[in-house]
């Protein structure tokens, strides 16, 4: 049986085989990949609030057709951002703590109104203010008039 199937497939034109794999992948993509996000919160007023005020939670997530795996999306996004995002010039403010430690605040000097909202962005454990995802957040916030540190 498998010998007959192999013989049949080897005699098919290449575009038929490509079409078979494409249809199979499309079926997998639509049935297994495209899904609504899972909202991991107990039933109650907070969940109802989220559903009411964040309508995108009820919509399906359509990842890039050629990059459906979440870790691969993270890697590709990091590579693309590292080639696009320029370094940002911050004004660093170092605060001395009572226990002898220090905290460095990197302020983006922008044309934002001093009374405009302020976002404090905390990078991960080994992150820094020049990390690609931080630069994207800072740039996006600055673009809509929000100060960042």
- What is the tens place of the pLDDT at every residue in 51-62? 999 999 999 999
Candidates 144, 131, 129, 128; CA nearest to 81 is: 131
| Burial of residue 53, with CB atoms counted within 10 A of its CB: 0-12 exposed, 13-18 middle, 19 or more buried | exposed
pLDDT digit string, tens, across residues 22-36: 999 999 999 999 999
pLDDT digit string, tens, across residues 67-116: 888 899 888 888 888 888 888 899 999 999 999 999 999 999 877 788 88
- What was the pLDDT predicted at 5? 78
Answer yes or no: are the C-beta atoms of 105 and 149 closer than 8 Å. Answer: yes
């Amino acid at each position: 049986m498998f010998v007959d199937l192999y013989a049949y497939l080897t005699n098919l034109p290449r575009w038929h085989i490509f079409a078979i794999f494409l249809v199979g992948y499309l079926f997998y993509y639509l049935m297994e990949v495209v899904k609504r996000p899972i909202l991991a919160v107990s039933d109650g007023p907070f969940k109802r609030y989220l559903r009411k005020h964040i309508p995108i939670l009820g919509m399906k997530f359509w990842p890039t057709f050629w990059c459906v795996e979440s870790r691969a999306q993270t890697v590709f996004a990091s590579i693309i951002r590292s080639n696009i995002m320029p370094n940002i010039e911050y004004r660093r403010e170092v605060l001395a703590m009572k226990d002898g430690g220090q905290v460095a605040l990197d302020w983006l000097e922008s044309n934002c109104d001093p009374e405009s909202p302020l976002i404090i962005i905390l990078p991960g454990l080994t992150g820094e203010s020049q990390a690609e995802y931080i630069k994207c957040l800072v740039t996006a916030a600055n673009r809509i008039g929000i100060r960042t540190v």
